Amino acid sequence: MSDETGADETAAEQNPFRRALDACIFAPVGVAVTVMEDLPGLVDKGRGRVEQEISNARVAGEYVVGRLQRRLTERLEGIVPRARTNGSDPQTPEEPAETRLAVTPTPVRPGPDIADTTTVGAALADYDTLSASQVVRRLESLGPDELRAVQRYEAATRNRRTILNRAGQLLEPGPAEASSG
């Protein structure tokens, strides 16, 4: 009898209809049942993997940021000496006065002269809202006194080189003026 059962199973395995039925019906049903039974475990496994990857990324990011901050701090300390409050820094021993770099204060630019402000405002309406290219285009219509006022006003405020250079060029005597005077 065992020979007959083995023969029946071999015939069933060779039957293309039976194989198609196994592949198209029974295998997907088996997978669905297995997934449904194992779903909570799969969810926990997936959640654990994602949380681990996020944790690894956070640790790596904190390491990189910390390292870059230290490098930047080291470079800045090499460029700009640390300002000491109350005489000393508890982390670093006091340096002798001879070895400290002298820090020169940045010169404070005086504000614009009221006369220049008035002259510029009258010559070029809304001057402070104009871009450098807009001002440069309008400079040719100004007289020498107005150009000098623009130069002084610009130097005292935004100090835009384009405007200062063009006003200087317009104030320079041209070849015809230089030979006649």
Task: Please report, for the chain, the start and end positions of each structural domain, with discontinuous segments joined by +.
Answer: 2-78, 114-172
3-state secondary structure of 81: coil
Q: What single-letter amino acid sits at 63?
A: Y
Q: What is the pLDDT of residues 4-38, one digit of tens each?
A: 555 556 655 678 888 888 889 989 998 888 888 88
Structure tokens at 30: 């088996």
What is d(CA 154, CA 127) in angstroms, rounded to the nearest whole number? Answer: 10
DSSP state of 50: H
Q: Are 148 and 168 in contact (CB under 8 A)?
A: no
User: Which tens digits make up the pLDDT trace of 47-89?
Assistant: 989 999 998 888 888 888 888 888 888 888 878 765 544 444 5
**Report field, pTM of the whole predicted structure over 0.85:** no
Pairwise CA distance, residues 4 & 71, whole Å: 81
Token pair for 132:
């450098």
